[in-house]
Protein backbone atom coordinates (compact mmCIF):
# COMPACT_ATOMS: atom_id res chain seq x y z
CA UNK A 1 0.00 0.00 0.00
CA UNK A 2 2.85 2.38 0.85
CA UNK A 3 4.46 1.75 -2.56
CA UNK A 4 1.18 2.49 -4.33
CA UNK A 5 0.81 5.74 -2.39
CA UNK A 6 4.37 6.82 -3.27
CA UNK A 7 3.77 6.04 -6.96
CA UNK A 8 0.56 8.11 -7.02
CA UNK A 9 2.31 11.07 -5.39
CA UNK A 10 5.16 10.82 -7.90
CA UNK A 11 2.80 10.78 -10.87
CA UNK A 12 0.86 13.77 -9.54
CA UNK A 13 4.11 15.72 -9.08
CA UNK A 14 5.00 15.02 -12.70
CA UNK A 15 1.56 16.23 -13.76
CA UNK A 16 2.04 19.50 -11.90
CA UNK A 17 5.48 20.19 -13.31
CA UNK A 18 4.39 20.52 -16.96
CA UNK A 19 6.17 17.32 -17.99
CA UNK A 20 4.54 14.24 -19.38
CA UNK A 21 4.79 10.78 -17.83
CA UNK A 22 6.66 9.79 -20.99
CA UNK A 23 9.48 12.20 -20.12
CA UNK A 24 8.77 14.78 -22.83
CA UNK A 25 7.56 18.36 -22.45
CA UNK A 26 4.00 18.75 -21.27
CA UNK A 27 1.29 20.02 -23.58
CA UNK A 28 0.99 23.26 -21.61
CA UNK A 29 4.59 24.28 -22.36
CA UNK A 30 4.99 27.50 -24.41
CA UNK A 31 4.82 27.23 -28.17
CA UNK A 32 8.22 27.51 -29.81
CA UNK A 33 8.90 30.76 -31.68
CA UNK A 34 12.32 32.14 -32.58
CA UNK A 35 13.41 35.19 -34.54
CA UNK A 36 16.53 37.10 -35.48
CA UNK A 37 17.35 40.42 -37.12
CA UNK A 38 19.97 40.49 -39.86
CA UNK A 39 20.86 44.18 -39.68
CA UNK A 40 19.29 46.51 -37.15
CA UNK A 41 19.95 49.73 -39.13
CA UNK A 42 18.10 48.38 -42.17
CA UNK A 43 15.22 47.28 -39.96
CA UNK A 44 14.89 50.74 -38.38
CA UNK A 45 14.44 52.34 -41.80
CA UNK A 46 11.43 50.18 -42.72
CA UNK A 47 8.02 51.81 -42.90
CA UNK A 48 5.95 50.02 -45.54
CA UNK A 49 5.74 46.24 -45.88
CA UNK A 50 4.01 44.34 -48.68
CA UNK A 51 2.53 40.93 -47.87
CA UNK A 52 3.37 38.37 -50.52
CA UNK A 53 1.27 35.24 -51.11
CA UNK A 54 1.62 32.67 -48.33
CA UNK A 55 3.67 29.72 -49.59
CA UNK A 56 2.21 26.29 -48.80
CA UNK A 57 3.05 22.77 -49.93
CA UNK A 58 0.85 21.08 -52.50
CA UNK A 59 -0.22 18.54 -49.88
CA UNK A 60 -1.49 21.26 -47.52
CA UNK A 61 -3.22 23.10 -50.38
CA UNK A 62 -5.06 19.94 -51.47
CA UNK A 63 -6.02 19.13 -47.89
CA UNK A 64 -7.60 22.54 -47.26
CA UNK A 65 -8.99 23.37 -50.69
CA UNK A 66 -10.69 26.78 -50.61
CA UNK A 67 -10.03 26.91 -46.89
CA UNK A 68 -6.37 27.68 -47.55
CA UNK A 69 -7.30 31.35 -47.80
CA UNK A 70 -7.22 31.43 -43.99
CA UNK A 71 -3.40 31.53 -44.15
CA UNK A 72 -3.29 34.94 -45.79
CA UNK A 73 -6.42 36.34 -44.13
CA UNK A 74 -5.09 35.73 -40.62
CA UNK A 75 -1.64 37.04 -41.51
CA UNK A 76 -3.00 40.34 -42.83
CA UNK A 77 -5.41 40.76 -39.91
CA UNK A 78 -2.75 40.23 -37.24
CA UNK A 79 -0.13 42.42 -38.90
CA UNK A 80 -2.55 45.30 -39.35
CA UNK A 81 -3.61 44.98 -35.72
CA UNK A 82 -0.25 44.44 -34.02
CA UNK A 83 2.67 45.66 -36.13
CA UNK A 84 3.82 49.26 -36.45
CA UNK A 85 4.32 49.03 -40.21
CA UNK A 86 2.16 50.39 -43.00
CA UNK A 87 0.89 47.06 -44.36
CA UNK A 88 0.13 46.71 -48.06
CA UNK A 89 -1.94 43.66 -48.84
CA UNK A 90 -1.62 41.02 -51.51
CA UNK A 91 -3.46 42.04 -54.70
CA UNK A 92 -4.33 38.86 -56.59
CA UNK A 93 -3.90 35.19 -55.61
CA UNK A 94 -2.69 35.27 -52.02
CA UNK A 95 -1.66 31.64 -51.56
CA UNK A 96 1.23 30.20 -53.58
CA UNK A 97 1.59 26.43 -53.89
CA UNK A 98 5.08 24.96 -54.04
CA UNK A 99 6.21 21.36 -53.60
CA UNK A 100 9.52 22.32 -51.99
CA UNK A 101 8.40 25.52 -50.27
CA UNK A 102 10.29 27.68 -52.77
CA UNK A 103 8.93 30.90 -54.26
CA UNK A 104 9.76 33.11 -57.29
CA UNK A 105 11.96 35.56 -55.40
CA UNK A 106 13.15 37.51 -58.46
CA UNK A 107 9.60 38.11 -59.70
CA UNK A 108 8.39 39.05 -56.23
CA UNK A 109 11.29 41.47 -55.79
CA UNK A 110 10.35 43.20 -59.05
CA UNK A 111 6.79 43.48 -57.78
CA UNK A 112 8.07 44.87 -54.48
CA UNK A 113 10.16 47.56 -56.17
CA UNK A 114 7.26 48.53 -58.40
CA UNK A 115 4.97 48.86 -55.38
CA UNK A 116 7.26 51.35 -53.67
CA UNK A 117 7.26 49.38 -50.39
CA UNK A 118 10.40 49.08 -48.29
CA UNK A 119 10.22 45.31 -47.81
CA UNK A 120 8.14 42.21 -48.42
CA UNK A 121 7.07 39.57 -45.91
CA UNK A 122 7.09 35.97 -47.11
CA UNK A 123 5.43 33.31 -44.94
CA UNK A 124 6.05 29.61 -45.67
CA UNK A 125 3.89 26.94 -44.04
CA UNK A 126 5.81 23.66 -43.77
CA UNK A 127 3.48 21.49 -41.69
CA UNK A 128 -0.21 21.82 -40.90
CA UNK A 129 -2.08 18.92 -39.31
CA UNK A 130 -5.24 19.19 -37.27
CA UNK A 131 -5.95 17.19 -34.12
CA UNK A 132 -7.75 13.86 -34.36
CA UNK A 133 -10.42 14.06 -31.73
CA UNK A 134 -11.98 16.91 -29.82
CA UNK A 135 -10.89 19.73 -27.54
CA UNK A 136 -11.41 17.51 -24.47
CA UNK A 137 -9.31 14.60 -25.75
CA UNK A 138 -7.37 13.94 -28.96
CA UNK A 139 -5.70 10.73 -30.02
CA UNK A 140 -3.37 12.80 -32.18
CA UNK A 141 -2.48 16.41 -31.37
CA UNK A 142 -2.44 19.29 -33.84
CA UNK A 143 0.90 20.20 -35.43
CA UNK A 144 2.02 23.43 -37.09
CA UNK A 145 5.32 24.66 -38.47
CA UNK A 146 6.09 27.78 -40.51
CA UNK A 147 8.85 30.27 -41.22
CA UNK A 148 8.67 33.95 -42.18
CA UNK A 149 11.18 36.24 -43.87
CA UNK A 150 11.29 40.01 -44.19
CA UNK A 151 13.22 40.91 -47.36
CA UNK A 152 14.12 44.44 -48.42
CA UNK A 153 14.18 45.91 -51.94
CA UNK A 154 17.80 44.79 -52.44
CA UNK A 155 16.87 41.16 -51.76
CA UNK A 156 18.53 41.17 -48.33
CA UNK A 157 16.86 39.19 -45.56
CA UNK A 158 16.63 41.56 -42.60
CA UNK A 159 14.43 39.50 -40.29
CA UNK A 160 13.55 35.83 -39.96
CA UNK A 161 11.12 34.06 -37.68
CA UNK A 162 10.13 30.43 -37.22
CA UNK A 163 7.37 28.68 -35.31
CA UNK A 164 6.80 25.04 -34.46
CA UNK A 165 4.44 23.34 -32.06
CA UNK A 166 2.89 19.90 -31.74
CA UNK A 167 0.21 19.25 -29.18
CA UNK A 168 0.41 15.97 -27.28
CA UNK A 169 -2.01 13.15 -27.88
CA UNK A 170 -4.25 12.08 -25.00
CA UNK A 171 -2.45 8.74 -24.87
CA UNK A 172 0.91 10.52 -24.41
CA UNK A 173 -0.18 12.49 -21.41
CA UNK A 174 -3.37 11.51 -19.61
CA UNK A 175 -2.64 13.87 -16.72
CA UNK A 176 -2.14 17.06 -18.72
CA UNK A 177 -5.85 17.80 -18.86
CA UNK A 178 -5.72 18.78 -15.17
CA UNK A 179 -3.23 21.54 -16.08
CA UNK A 180 -4.78 22.73 -19.33
CA UNK A 181 -6.66 25.59 -17.72
CA UNK A 182 -9.84 24.49 -19.46
CA UNK A 183 -8.37 25.12 -22.91
CA UNK A 184 -8.24 21.47 -23.90
CA UNK A 185 -6.48 20.29 -27.03
CA UNK A 186 -5.91 23.05 -29.56
CA UNK A 187 -7.09 22.97 -33.15
CA UNK A 188 -4.46 23.68 -35.78
CA UNK A 189 -6.35 26.87 -36.68
CA UNK A 190 -5.84 28.09 -33.11
CA UNK A 191 -2.12 27.25 -33.30
CA UNK A 192 -1.87 29.24 -36.53
CA UNK A 193 -3.63 32.26 -35.01
CA UNK A 194 -1.28 32.16 -32.01
CA UNK A 195 1.80 31.76 -34.20
CA UNK A 196 0.92 34.64 -36.51
CA UNK A 197 0.18 36.86 -33.51
CA UNK A 198 3.69 36.09 -32.26
CA UNK A 199 5.11 37.11 -35.65
CA UNK A 200 3.22 40.42 -35.65
CA UNK A 201 4.18 41.30 -32.07
CA UNK A 202 7.82 40.32 -32.60
CA UNK A 203 8.07 42.54 -35.68
CA UNK A 204 6.59 45.44 -33.73
CA UNK A 205 9.03 44.88 -30.85
CA UNK A 206 12.04 44.60 -33.15
CA UNK A 207 11.03 47.78 -34.95
CA UNK A 208 10.74 49.65 -31.66
CA UNK A 209 14.16 48.38 -30.51
CA UNK A 210 15.79 49.32 -33.82
CA UNK A 211 14.32 52.84 -33.78
CA UNK A 212 15.33 53.44 -30.16
CA UNK A 213 18.96 52.61 -30.95
CA UNK A 214 19.19 55.02 -33.87
Q: What structural domains does the chain harbor?
A: 29-212 (3.40.50)
DSSP 17: T
Residue 18: predicted pLDDT: 36
Q: What is the pLDDT of residues 132-161, one digit of tens each?
A: 654 444 456 788 999 999 999 999 999 999
Between residues 31 and 48, the one the model is more confident about: 48
Percentage of the residues of the chain whose pLDDT score is greater than 90? 49
Q: How sure is the predictor about 29, in pLDDT bands with cuts at 50, 70 and 90?
A: very low
Return the axis-axis angle of helices 69-82 and 188-212, rounded to nearest 10°.
40
Q: Are strands 132-134 and 54-56 parallel, antiparallel or unpaired?
A: unpaired
Percentage of the residues of the chain whose pLDDT score is greater than 70? 72
Region 194-207: what's the mean pLDDT?
94
Q: Residues, the chain, total?
A: 214
Q: How far is CA 6 from the centre of its chain?
A: 41
Residue 43: predicted pLDDT: 83
Name which of 124, 133, 185, 179 is nearest 157 in CA terms: 124
The string over 194-208, giving b where at least 16 C-beta atoms fall within 10 Å of a residue's C-beta and e elsewhere, is bbbbbbbebbeebbe
Least confident of 75-79, 83-87, 115-119, 167-171: 167-171
158 sits in which H/E element: strand 157-166
Residue 6: predicted pLDDT: 38
Between residues 114 and 40, the one the model is more confident about: 114
Residue 135: predicted pLDDT: 46
Q: Is the C-alpha dihedral spanning 41, 46, 52, 55 positive or negative?
A: positive
Amino acid sequence: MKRIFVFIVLVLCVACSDYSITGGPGRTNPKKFNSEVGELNSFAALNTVTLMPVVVTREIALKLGEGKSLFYDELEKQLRAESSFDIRGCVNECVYTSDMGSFPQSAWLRSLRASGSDAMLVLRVHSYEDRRGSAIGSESGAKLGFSAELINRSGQEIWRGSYYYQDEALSDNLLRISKSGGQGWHSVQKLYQDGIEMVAKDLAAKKMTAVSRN
